[in-house]
Structure 1
Amino acid sequence: MENRITLMAALAGIVLTASACAPSSTAPTAGATSASASGPTPAATSTSVGWGLNPKGAADRIKAAGLQVLTAEGAAEHFHAHLDVFTEGKPVTVPADIGFSFNTAGQPNGISALHSHDETGVIHIEAPTAGATYTLGQFLTEWGVLDGTDKTPGTPHSGIDGWNVAVNGTKQDGKITDVVLKAHDEIVLFHGAAPNPLPASFTFTGGL
């Protein structure tokens, strides 16, 4: 049975109702990610520094991705994909709460149709209208990474040059940002040599 969780935004007075998923109980802080029992831990991910989610400007990043800041998760379109990120063979933690906006107290007060809830790498698509497509580039924009502000290859804010993507074990041609997210896809984004073994599938649990 789906759980309903309501978040009260202290400043905006917005009620965020989640019909199937809910944001993490602790809002992330700039440059940090929260621990998750089912996801990789910061200790196991030496490349976590700089890849954390910065709540500041989150609403603007959602809009820059061409998406809306909603007051509730949608139910017309609901599916999940999974993202693994590697740089120079080392895994990167995908943060919780990508695709959420936050008030000045750091509490969630809005949500995009494209978002994450934890550090498992599961990407949630929960949209109020059906039929739209969502891309890896939009998710990266919401995350605030690979924005080209750092000229060092393979870093959190490098450009997309040198990055590759595989979907369900098959390397994709074209721009990594153009990859369309589809239900139960295993997406591997990597810089440098491909991880060995290359993840080709992901086991979704809990009815996802």
Structure 2
Amino acid sequence: MRHPRSPRRRLGALGTLAALSALALFTGLCGAPAAAADNPIVDDPPVLATAAVLDGKPIDGIPAGPMVAGGYHVHSHLTLYVDGTEHWVPAGVGVTRPIVLDPTRPDPVITAAEGFYWLHTHDESGVIHAEAPTPHDFTLGEFFDLWGQPLTRHAVGPADGDVTVWVDGKEYDGDPRDVALKEHTEVQLNVGRDVPFQPYEFPSNF
């Protein structure tokens, strides 16, 4: 079972939920910190492509708004390889500005924001959060649309080449956009050279 490749990535996934409620409460009571609107996400070099800056309008019918309390909440994971080298999914996919970053972390971990689409990322761990008031069918294509990047059998974001798709340890022959994102779905996209499926171990609180 593969763990995130560095302790930094593991803590990014685990630390988000702990910091989220406290900072969200602080933001609700006191307003966002003055620097929040100018607090950019600085992507680490392995990030494949930065997250699109979104205006909160629905995308693929998915709305943005406050974090959904209760309701439907599942986590899936996306791993990306380009010619055998792993690239990371950025923090802030499906998140509208201004944002609040965890000030104790050198890497970007989003703890509060103006709004969250029902499909989003808080950090660079590859964990995709799907949160909606009621059960909802989400797809990988919708996630890439929120990311602002293409996804086909010949392109994953800015990376071009033949794409091999793995879902839960099995090779997937269909359109990668149609992959369903359900509880603990593990997706691996290999552009160019194929890489054997690398299982991901979700944090215990996910």
Fold in common (TM above 0.5): yes
In the aligned structure 1, how far is the partner of 2:122 from the partner of 2:39? 10
Q: Which amino acid aligns with 2:201?
A: T
**Which 4+ runs in 1 deviate beyond 6 A?**
104-107
Question: Which sections of structure 2, spanning at least 5 residues, go unmatched?
Answer: 1-16, 33-37, 102-111
Q: Cα–Cα, structure 1 residues 116 and 194, in superposed 2: closer, same or farther, change >3 Å?
A: same
Q: Deviations over 1:39-88 (max 9, x none)?
A: xx53xx3xx3x612242x3535xx23320012222421111111101122
Q: Which amino acid aligns with 1:180?
A: A
Q: Provide the residue aligned with 1:4 in structure 2.
A: 21
TM-score (norm 1): 0.68
Q: How many residues are paired up?
A: 169
2:200 equivalent to 1:205: no
Q: Which amino acid aligns with 1:93?
A: W
TM-score (norm 2): 0.68
Q: Is the 8 A contact 1:59 1:102 kept in 2?
A: no
Let me know the Cα RMSD of the aligned residues: 3.3
Structure 2 SS opposite 1:177: helix
Q: Provide the residue aligned with 2:90 in structure 1.
A: 95
Q: Which amino acid aligns with 1:96?
A: A
Q: Is the 8 A contact 1:95 1:116 kept in 2?
A: yes
In the aligned structure 1, how far is the partner of 2:121 from the partner of 2:56? 15
Q: Provide the residue aligned with 1:84 in structure 2.
A: 79
Q: Is the 8 A contact 1:77 1:128 kept in 2?
A: yes
Q: Provide the residue aligned with 1:18 in structure 2.
A: none
Structure 1 SS opposite 2:56: helix
Q: Which amino acid aligns with 1:129?
A: T
* Percentage identity across paired residues of the two chains: 28
Question: Which sections of structure 1, spanning at least 5 residues, go unmatched?
Answer: 15-25, 34-40
Q: Provide the residue aligned with 1:19 in structure 2.
A: none
Structure 1 SS opposite 2:78: strand
In the aligned structure 1, how far is the partner of 2:86 from the partner of 2:99? 31
In the aligned structure 2, how far is the partner of 1:119 from the partner of 1:156? 16
Q: Is the 8 A contact 1:58 1:100 kept in 2?
A: no
Q: Which amino acid aligns with 1:108?
A: A
In the aligned structure 2, how far is the partner of 1:93 from the partner of 1:58? 24
2:118 equivalent to 1:123: no
Q: Cα–Cα, structure 1 residues 27 and 90, in superposed 2: closer, same or farther, change >3 Å?
A: farther
2:129 equivalent to 1:156: no
Q: Is the 8 A contact 1:28 1:53 kept in 2?
A: no
Q: Which amino acid aligns with 2:125?
A: T
Task: For CA contacts below 8 A with separation 6 or more, give which structure has more relative contact order.
Answer: 2
Q: Cα–Cα, structure 1 residues 76 and 105, in superposed 2: closer, same or farther, change >3 Å?
A: closer
